[in-house]
């Protein structure tokens, strides 16, 4: 069986606690580590004993983990809590697939079914509610920006095309909001890290040091230029359907290590925008969905992942990253049926998502004190 990728952490009981934040700061999102796939759950997965639930409440339980950060506590159920200067983040770690480990170029997805509307190009956003592409060079690494910058731009254009095409199939006119350069192309900030630490905790702090931590801005970081090492992102378990949803306000961070297929970028950005919620019709309960072929679906060992099937939306070319929300019922639908899950819960294609541009929606206003 082909096991895919990218794990997150969205366990409802944990996310409620993690969203409390710390005094004087915006309440942080839960963290989602989405490194590409593995063959099964961690040995301690889904042990919901009282001992597991009581973990990670004392400082002595936090130790360094080179994959995640300086202060990490194993919570059980394959999850980790990261203690950062900006609040606690929840993470779930996994290794990249053998198939993608050496990937050093893009993966092109074939065209989908005929669309009801024309796909829309990316939207150049001038406020802070936008995606910022960042190529981060390790302190001791070589500067490969001559190849990485065009690759990141290409990956974003492919990601936007997949999202916009999917919306157009269902009568939606939308695109992703991004920082652009003076030619109207997605801008890539090139920065050199002050360390060689590529874990998300260190990168999150480096983003702040470089002045890129802005309210509402989702930073998508490519770390280094080697073979594919997987991805990780901070995410949210907030199911509120309105603009007050927590994904809209706090700075997001998504990291792809090395040169992976473009769908790693899109998968991580999907987590930053709030996919996949635990209560979705086909959710794994651990941040992914069970309906493949889908960018956000994967047999991740979550409490509902026994329902995973790889042929719910058959892929014409065998690529399990073929669809963006396979049956448009778990995380993305521009016009969801009345009373459906996506009509009453957080929906990445809704006008409330400030990372997308929908000209028919107008401008949604955040309520005072809304935050993550």
Which tokens in the block code for residue 80? 């980790």
Question: Residue 16 above 60 pLDDT?
Answer: no
| Contacts of residue 350, Cβ cutoff 8 Å, sequence gap at least 6 | 241, 342
Q: How would you class 148 by CB atoms within 10 Å of its CB: exposed for 0-12, middle for 13-18, buried for 19 or more?
A: buried
Provide DSSP, 19-64.
TT--TTSPPPPPEE------SS--TTTT---HHHHT-S-SGGG-EE
Q: Is the pLDDT assigned to residue 50 strictly greater than 70?
A: no
Residue 17 has a pLDDT of 26
Domain ranges of the chain: 101-357
Residue 74's pLDDT band (cuts 50, 70, 90): confident
Report the range of poorest mean pLDDT among 36-50, 110-124, 242-256, 269-283.
Answer: 36-50
d(CA 67, CA 197): 9
pLDDT-derived band of residue 81, with 50, 70 and 90 as boundaries?
Answer: confident
Q: pLDDT (tens digit, 9 = 90+) per residue, 288-334?
A: 899 999 999 988 888 898 999 999 998 888 888 899 999 999 999 99
- 192-210 pLDDT, tens digit per residue, is 999 999 998 899 999 999 9
pLDDT at 156 exceeding the cut of 90: yes
Residue 166 to residue 346: CA distance in whole angstroms: 18
Strand pairing report for 218-227 and 131-137:
parallel
246 has pLDDT over 60: yes
Size of the chain in residues: 372
Of the ranges 77-81, 134-138, 273-277, 326-330, which one carries the lowest mean pLDDT score? 77-81
**Per-residue pLDDT at 234:** 81
Least confident range of 31-40, 47-56, 192-201, 245-254: 31-40
With 80 as the cut, is the pLDDT of residue 215 above it?
A: yes
Q: Give the whole-number percent of the chain exceeding pLDDT 90.
A: 50
pLDDT band per the 50, 70, 90 thresholds, residue 173: very high
Copy the structure tokens of residue 348: 């990445």
Higher pLDDT, 275 or 10: 275
- The rounded distance, in Å, linking the Cα atoms of 195 and 312 is 44
Nearest of 275, 284, 285, 219 to residue 14 by alpha carbon: 285
Supply the mean pLDDT for the chain: 79
Q: Does residue 157 have a cis peptide bond before it, meaning omega lies within 30 degrees of 0?
A: no
- What pTM did the predictor assign? 0.82
What span, in angstroms and rounded, lies between the C-alpha atoms of 217 and 301?
A: 31
- Rounded Cα–Cα distance for residues 350 and 347 (Å): 5
Residue recorded with tokens 């819960």: 345
Return d(Cα 215, Cα 130) in angstroms, integer: 10
């Amino acid at each position: 069986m082909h096991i895919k990728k990218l794990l997150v952490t969205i366990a409802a009981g944990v996310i409620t606690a993690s969203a409390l934040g710390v005094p004087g700061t915006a309440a942080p999102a839960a963290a989602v580590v989405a490194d590409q796939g593995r063959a099964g759950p961690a040995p301690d997965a889904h042990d919901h004993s009282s001992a597991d639930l009581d973990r990670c409440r004392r400082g002595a339980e936090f130790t360094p983990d080179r994959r995640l950060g300086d202060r990490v506590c194993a919570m059980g159920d394959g999850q980790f809590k990261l203690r950062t200067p900006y609040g606690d983040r929840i993470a779930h770690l996994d290794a990249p697939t053998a198939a993608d480990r050496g990937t050093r170029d893009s993966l092109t997805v074939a065209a989908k079914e005929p669309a009801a509307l024309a796909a829309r190009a990316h939207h150049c956003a001038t406020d802070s509610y936008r995606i910022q592409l960042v190529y981060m060079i390790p302190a001791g690494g070589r500067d490969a920006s001559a190849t990485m910058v065009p690759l990141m731009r290409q990956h974003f254009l492919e990601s936007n095309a997949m999202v916009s095409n999917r919306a157009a199939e269902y009568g939606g006119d939308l695109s992703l909001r991004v920082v652009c350069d003076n030619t109207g192309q997605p801008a890539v900030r090139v920065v050199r890290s002050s360390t060689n630490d590529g874990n998300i905790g260190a990168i999150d702090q480096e983003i702040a040091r470089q002045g890129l931590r802005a309210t509402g801005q989702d930073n998508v970081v490519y770390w280094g230029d080697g073979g594919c090492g997987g991805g990780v992102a901070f995410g949210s378990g907030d199911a509120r359907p309105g603009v007050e949803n927590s994904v809209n306000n706090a700075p997001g961070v998504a990291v792809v290590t090395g040169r992976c297929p473009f769908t790693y970028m899109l998968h991580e950005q999907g987590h930053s925008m709030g996919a996949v919620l635990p209560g979705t019709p086909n959710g794994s309960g651990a941040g992914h969905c069970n309906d493949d072929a889908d960018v956000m679906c994967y047999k991740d060992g979550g409490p509902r992942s026994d329902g995973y099937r790889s042929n719910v939306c058959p892929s014409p070319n065998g690529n399990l990253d073929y669809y963006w929300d396979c049956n448009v019922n778990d995380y993305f639908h521009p016009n969801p049926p009345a009373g459906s899950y996506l009509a009453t819960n957080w929906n990445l294609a809704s006008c409330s998502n400030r990372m997308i541009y929908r000209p028919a929606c107008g401008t949604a206003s955040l309520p005072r004190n809304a935050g993550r």
